[in-house]
Amino acid sequence: MKRRAFVGALGLGAAATLAGCRQEAANCAEGASSTNTGKVINWTMVTTWPKNFQGLGESAELLAQTINQLSGGRMKVTVMGAGDLVPALQVFDTVASGTAQMGHGASYYWKGKLPVAPIFSAVPFGLNAQEMNGWLYQGGGLELWQELYQPLGLIPMPAGNSGVQMAGWFNKEINSLDDIQGLKMRIPGLGGEVFKRAGGTPELIPGAELFAALERGRIDATEWVGPYNDLAFGLHKAAKYYYYPGWHEPGTTLEAIINQQAFAALPSDLQAIVKAACTIANYDTLSFFTRKNNEALTELTEKHKVVLKKLPSDVLQRFEALSHEVVEELADSDAFARRVYQSYQQYKQQVSSWHQVSERAFYDLRG
């Protein structure tokens, strides 16, 4: 089933169930008839991705289409790609100001505003996609995330996940830690801080600018997402070596950010629909990447002759040690960061113990 067809086939009741909005869904039919005045509520969604970009941009489009369809036309969300209304890295401020009612991106882009925000997207050597969903939806993570954004007039919701990413594209081989020294790499969030402490130079560059930056030598390496997105950007034409595993982003949660006032102005059934649509986009995006990434990786290695390599063990070990250092320092920065860290770590310890005898044991058995 195609992604867009999935929305129409799902139906409001199932969508609300996915989102954990069972009670709200029970009231949707009554709410729709009592609040529908015939006036369409128009929202604008700004994104950090290029318009309709494969995977990430499509996730934003799916989110908007789901809201539009489940609302029965009572809402219309129009998606603006990076640069259409505002630059990619101004999405947060644009939604907070009310210029747009909704945004789609990743919380690690806002590290300069909210240092603890990256934990809600990706922690190096941290939770994978399945585990992130467990922490956010069932482990108290989403409540903490919403508490963080609340003073700024925003509501965050999980709205996509890429799964384990790739370590990135490099214009030279990485054989030891010496090869990291002075290396300029596009790498955001907590992973960027780890890379810096390992001797590299991290840069934060919007996705649309990556190919030119790598091709022209502004940077020596870049991570983006994974084979499907990287192939679409043509990164294999700018760098020869493709490294794994994605130590820095083991399960990157994308976010929908919603202006609180705009959300509060919606009737309760439309609020439930917006929440449900975010959860649909969250799970659909992960399913989509799971299907598409190996197809793209095969094309990269067999058709385009990309050199696929694993990062050396000493490099990964150093990155892991520095990752623990970075996250613990973040936890010590203030009381709220400590609460987030403790919640994340407690969940990670619990789920890791279970996955030793479930997921990991099964993967080892299956081979």
Residue-wise pLDDT for 170-181, tens only, equals 999 999 999 999
pLDDT score at 167: 98
pLDDT(2) > 70: no
pLDDT at 252: 97
Average per-residue pLDDT for the chain: 91
Give the pLDDT band of residue 36 (cuts 50, 70, 90).
low
pLDDT tens for residues 56-101? 999 999 999 999 999 999 999 999 999 999 999 999 999 999 999 9
Is the pLDDT at 254 greater than 70? The verdict is yes
- Angle at the Cα of 333 from the Cα atoms of 329 and 334, rounded to 5 degrees: 140
Per-residue confidence band for 153, with pLDDT thresholds at 50, 70 and 90: very high
**Burial (CB count <10 Å: 0-12, 13-18, 19+), residue 140:** middle
d(CA 204, CA 81): 18
321 burial (CB, 10 Å; 0-12 / 13-18 / 19+) is: middle
Q: Is the dihedral of CA 298, 210, 2, 278 positive or negative?
A: positive
Tens digits of per-residue pLDDT, 293-337?
Answer: 999 999 999 999 999 999 999 999 999 999 999 999 999 999 999
Structural domains in the chain, CATH included, are 3-160+254-290 (3.40.190.170)
Q: How confident is the model at residue 186 (pLDDT cuts 50, 70, 90)?
A: very high
Detail the DSSP E strand segments found in the chain.
Answer: 41-47, 75-80, 102-105, 154-161, 168-170, 184-186, 201-203, 221-222, 241-244, 253-259, 307-310
Distance between CA 77 and CA 68 in Å, rounded? 6
Q: Which residue has the higher pLDDT, 23 or 286?
A: 286
**0.85 exceeded by the pTM?**
yes
Burial degree of 27 (CB within 10 A; 0-12, 13-18, 19+):
middle
With beta carbons less than 8 A apart as the criterion, state whether 133 and 161 touch: yes
**Nearest-10 crossing angle of helices 335-357, 141-149:** 160
Give the C-alpha distances (Å, rounded to integers) separating 337 from 39, 268, 328.
Answer: 43, 32, 10
Pair 152, 139: CB distance under 8 Å: no
> How much is the average pLDDT of 229-250?
96
Which of 170, 310, 280, 290 is closest to 228 using CA atoms?
290
Helix, strand, coil percentages (3-state) for the chain, rounded to 5, are 55, 15, 30
Percentage of residues in the chain with pLDDT exceeding 70? 90
**Cα(31)–Cα(38) distance, integer angstroms:** 14
Does position 23 have pLDDT exceeding 60, yes or no? no
* 40-55 confidence digits (pLDDT tens): 999 999 999 999 888 8
